[in-house]
Structure 1
Amino acid sequence: MLLMYFDCIFFMCGHSAFSRNVSIMMSTQYTTENAFRDQKLYIRVESDVHISRFLVRQKTQLELNLAM
């Protein structure tokens, strides 16, 4: 059983949505906690993508049930 959770949040700061200078900064964090707790494997991936004045935040959670 593989359950995938995806959440994406869009919001912008400022008034100028599109500009000639587009700066992209990505910050990705991988987190694994207690691999065999309750016979489940939890993997969380959080990434922040800054495009100009937009901030796209993506949160992905994978849950793998090892009690098959």
Structure 2
Amino acid sequence: MSIAEQLQGFVQFCQAHITGDEKGEAQVFLDRFFVAFGHEGAMQAGAVFEKRIEKGSKKGKTGFA
């Protein structure tokens, strides 16, 4: 399958299944994005999803980046 066909499949998937809920669909979107470019998935391409970081608060709470 050509890269153009893979990207068209990605676009069709997004149009059918991605509704814009970033928090709930970001990882699915990114995984399919990397697959469209020939990777097995996002993790196999070296992507790192949200990583916990310290917010710098006095209470030592963490956030995501």
- For the aligned pair, the TM-score class normalised by the smaller chain equals under 0.3
Structure having the higher strand fraction is 1
Structure having the higher helix fraction is 2
TM-score (norm 2): 0.26
* Larger radius of gyration between Structure 1 and Structure 2: 1
TM-score (norm 1): 0.26
